[in-house]
Amino acid sequence: MIILRRLISNARIILLTAILPAILLAWSGCSTARVSLKDISATGSGRYECTHKGVRHDFIIDFPEKVEGSPLVIMLPGAGGTAESFRLDTRFHETACTEGYTVVYVTGAPEPGDHTSPLAWNHEGRESGNDDTGFLKALVAFIHEVFHTDQERCFAAGFSNGAFMCHRLALEASDTFSAVISVAGTMSENTWKNKPDICTTSLLQIAGERDDVIPKLSDRSAGYSAYPAIEDLISYYASANGLDSMTVREIGRNSTLTEYYSKDSERLVWFLYVTDGRHSWSAERVTGINTNKLIIDFLESITNHSTHDISTSSITDSKFLYDAVTR
Check pLDDT > 50 for residue 327: no
Predicted local confidence at residue 33, as pLDDT: 41
Chain-wide mean pLDDT for the chain?
87
Predicted local confidence at residue 222, as pLDDT: 83
Confidence band, pLDDT 50/70/90 cuts, at residue 307: very low
Phi, psi of 243 (to 5 degrees): -95, 125
**Helix residue ranges, H only, 173-317:** 189-193, 230-240, 284-287, 291-303
- How is 221-286 classified by DSSP, letter by letter? GGGG-SSPPHHHHHHHHHHHTT--EEEEEEETTTEEEEEEE-TT-S--EEEEEETT--SS---HHH
Check pLDDT > 50 for residue 31: no
| C-beta separation of 286 from 250 below 8 A | no
Confidence band, pLDDT 50/70/90 cuts, at residue 317: very low
Identity of the residue numbered 107: T
Q: How far apart are CA 186 and CA 306, in angstroms?
A: 28
- What Cα–Cα distance (Å) separates residue 214 from each residue in 86, 242, 301? 21, 25, 26
Q: How far apart are CA 300 and CA 259, in angstroms?
A: 14
Predicted local confidence at residue 2, as pLDDT: 45
Eight-state DSSP code of residue 64: -
Q: What is the 3-state secondary structure (H, E, C) of 104-129?
A: EEECCECECCECCCCCECCCCCCCCC
The overall pTM is greater than 0.75 = yes
* Arithmetic mean of pLDDT, 25-52: 76
Predicted local confidence at residue 115, as pLDDT: 83
* Arithmetic mean of pLDDT, 299-307: 76
pLDDT tens digits, residue range 88-140? 999 999 999 999 999 999 999 999 988 889 999 999 999 899 999 999 999 99
Check pLDDT > 80 for residue 14: no
Instruction: Determine what percent of the chain is predicted with pLDDT higher than 70.
Output: 82
Eight-state DSSP code of residue 195: -
pLDDT tens digits, residue range 146-173? 999 999 999 999 999 999 999 999 999 9
